[in-house]
Structure 1
């Protein structure tokens, strides 16, 4: 079987799909990742074959500028003056990739397309080729309504390819633990979230003896580029009053706006998040989908800042399950809140309970067989109709 993985150029949204891609390859299937931008290099280093579907553009710079232009402006409601007409919303670069990706897929002839929620260009390719498309969820903030909005932004691309819109999804892979799932989509399959955060040589201090708790702190891969690291000023001030070690894992971001750091803060360039959390006692983060799920898998209590994009939904899911805290305002991120994060037995118990729940879910390797049967059933039905 050949599987095309299609998605936006933000590698943090591709990383949750890497374990399934590797499971497919381990089972003998061919996998090709179609995207653009920096995601190409990150996914190539994961051992996957990639293809650039929008050569010549810099998606990170374009997205950062888009967010800066949009900051502080309330998005208009549908039908309101200033609302984007059909086909004019933001397609997360799906429109820019649609033609080249369809051309490549027509030549490569995949049997199945897998894509994240904002990678609906994969749905277009699947509809064009008459093959199943499978959505691989990446957090708690995406529903069929949200996917429909992104598909709406692809209206011009659908028209270019002689389509009126996407075919229904063949399956929806939900990697959230059932006790926290916020969707009830048709054809939903639960699948275990297996963290993938890239590889690295780990520093010797990571697993060495410790005399005090360790708090991992991260803002993911997108927020430092778009918004900077100012949300962490509260963490720095809280650290001055907390007997704990704080590891700032910010991917080499400029820390100068945080001022002089206290001695119990250790900034690092890059440590795969799963490895860092396995050697930590708690985590403070921005609320990105991959980070939230990796923290849940690690069974750690978490503080979720949860501002912008799908982060409020991820933060609400964590708070609702009782395994994390969500400050309402930046000033609420205090030493007292950090202390509660480290000492609240209920938070830690609930976090571990969720980790056990996730470990019992069907693995990506177990899901491969279901995907093969899905592709075979569609091929049989398509052949019978000809």
Structure 2
């Protein structure tokens, strides 16, 4: 079987897909990973074959995602028509960041020819590589168009919460209200021009896949009306030379402090860095902070803090008693895999992380605190995390739930069967 995996160009989207690629390869299948040229190095460094969709000077940079937000007036009308409360952060995440990420590589109707290069490159690559199955990132739905145009089976491969699947459920309940208001399904309208360009009908299977591979724990999974193939999310976050100091048992509790690769890429975390460094200053703990030079510029680093530019969390966390982080799903999931209690610190603008913070608190595996709180309050919550044994016990239980999920190797026969049934 030949499998093409299409990922949106962030390592936060790539990393959870790679263990599935390796499992397929281990079972004897041919696998490639298609994405923006900016991601090719990360793909090949991980031992996978990369297909570049266009060239850096012909397709938009992922850094331009903010330019593709749905206009505020359209978002407000859509939210009001669907009777969605203004504090529904899951919907806010969908209607802002999720839609913008999809719109970045999906031209609107009557767009200039150069806007079609990434879509056309994907269809051409799919025709040339001839996959039997295309597993696609929900933020790159034209992969489903390419698969159908080439006769391949296709399914969504989630990297985190299923914002789109949930949104489609909400939209489906209010089709009449949308029509009466002269509004359309934004998911369908994002992919429709690409579908029409390549002679493909827009239907539920195109939007949501023949099935969905979902790495979220059952307690964190969003409602979805289609077929789901659950899979255990393997905590791969890159590779590095293991530093020798990591081998020595820490003399004091070791605390990881990270703000993730996505926050670093978009420089959304610079104000939070100073607050967190102040919060851990003087704490009776050894803090390992994965912060780079730009995040640390002009800031004093406390004596109990060791800074490293980058260290994969699956190397660091087995030595840690706690982790302080921004609420990203990759960081949260890696901490669960290693039974490490968590303190989530995020500001009100980080709406995409709000539901993750709630899962941490609701599961008893950690605490969450608003970044607007003074450093002293963040320090108090971290001390509580380090001294209350209940957090560690709850983290152990959630790790057991994680281990009970099918591994990537376990789902390979299911992927084979679903692909064969399609043909």
Is the Cα–Cα contact under 8 Å of residues 231 and 405 in structure 2 kept in the other structure? Answer: yes
Within 5 Å, which residues of 2 pair with 1:56-71?
56-57=56-57, 63=63, 66=66
Within 5 Å, which residues of 2 pair with 1:350-365?
350-365=394-409
1:301 aligns with 2:301: no
Inter-CA distance 4–69: structure 2 relative to 1 (3 Å threshold):
closer
Query: How far apart, CA to CA, are the structure 2 residues paired with 1:324 and 1:133?
Result: 37
Query: How far apart, CA to CA, are the structure 2 residues paired with 1:212 and 1:46?
Result: 34
Query: How far apart, CA to CA, are the structure 2 residues paired with 1:206 and 1:74?
Result: 51
Secondary structure in structure 1 of the residue aligned to 2:287: strand
Query: Hey, what does 1:369 align to over in structure 2?
Result: 413
Within 5 Å, which residues of 2 pair with 1:121-200?
121-140=142-161, 142-146=163-167, 149-150=186-187, 152-165=189-202, 168=205, 169-200=209-240
Query: Hey, what does 1:245 align to over in structure 2?
Result: 286
- Tell me how far 1:269 sits from its aligned partner: 1.4
Is the Cα–Cα contact under 8 Å of residues 112 and 132 in structure 1 kept in the other structure? Answer: yes
Query: How far apart, CA to CA, are the structure 2 residues paired with 1:59 and 1:218?
Result: 31
- Tell me how far 1:184 sits from its aligned partner: 3.9
Query: Hey, what does 1:290 align to over in structure 2?
Result: 330
Most deviating of 292-301 and 246-255: 246-255
- Tell me how far 1:19 sits from its aligned partner: 0.3
Q: Which runs of 5+ in 2 are unaligned?
A: 81-94, 108-116, 169-184
Most deviating of 181-190 and 11-20: 181-190
- Tell me how far 1:180 sits from its aligned partner: 3.1
Inter-CA distance 299–135: structure 2 relative to 1 (3 Å threshold):
same
Is the Cα–Cα contact under 8 Å of residues 175 and 191 in structure 1 kept in the other structure? Answer: yes
- Tell me how far 1:67 sits from its aligned partner: 7.0
CA root-mean-square deviation: 3.0
Residues 339-371 of structure 1 show CA distances to partners (whole Å, capped at 9, x for unaligned) of 012112222111111111111211100101110
Structure 2 length-normalised TM = 0.80
Within 5 Å, which residues of 2 pair with 1:330-369?
330-331=372-373, 334-369=378-413
For residue 236 of structure 1, the aligned residue among 277, 291, 294 is 277
Is the Cα–Cα contact under 8 Å of residues 120 and 151 in structure 1 kept in the other structure? Answer: no
Query: How far apart, CA to CA, are the structure 1 residues paired with 2:316 and 2:196?
Result: 46
Inter-CA distance 74–208: structure 2 relative to 1 (3 Å threshold):
farther
Query: How far apart, CA to CA, are the structure 1 residues paired with 2:338 and 2:378?
Result: 24
Residues 66-115 of structure 1 show CA distances to partners (whole Å, capped at 9, x for unaligned) of 27999x999544288xx99xx99852435552110110111111011112
- Tell me how far 1:122 sits from its aligned partner: 2.0
Inter-CA distance 185–325: structure 2 relative to 1 (3 Å threshold):
farther
Query: Hey, what does 1:33 align to over in structure 2?
Result: 33
Residues 208-246 of structure 1 show CA distances to partners (whole Å, capped at 9, x for unaligned) of 121111111111112123214321222111111311111
Is the Cα–Cα contact under 8 Å of residues 282 and 302 in structure 2 kept in the other structure? Answer: no
Within 5 Å, which residues of 2 pair with 1:49-60?
49-57=49-57
Query: How far apart, CA to CA, are the structure 2 residues paired with 1:213 and 1:224?
Result: 26
Is the Cα–Cα contact under 8 Å of residues 25 and 31 in structure 1 kept in the other structure? Answer: yes
Secondary structure in structure 1 of the residue aligned to 2:138: coil
Structure 1 length-normalised TM = 0.87
Secondary structure in structure 1 of the residue aligned to 2:418: helix
Query: How far apart, CA to CA, are the structure 2 residues paired with 1:183 and 1:295?
Result: 24
Query: Hey, what does 1:384 align to over in structure 2?
Result: none
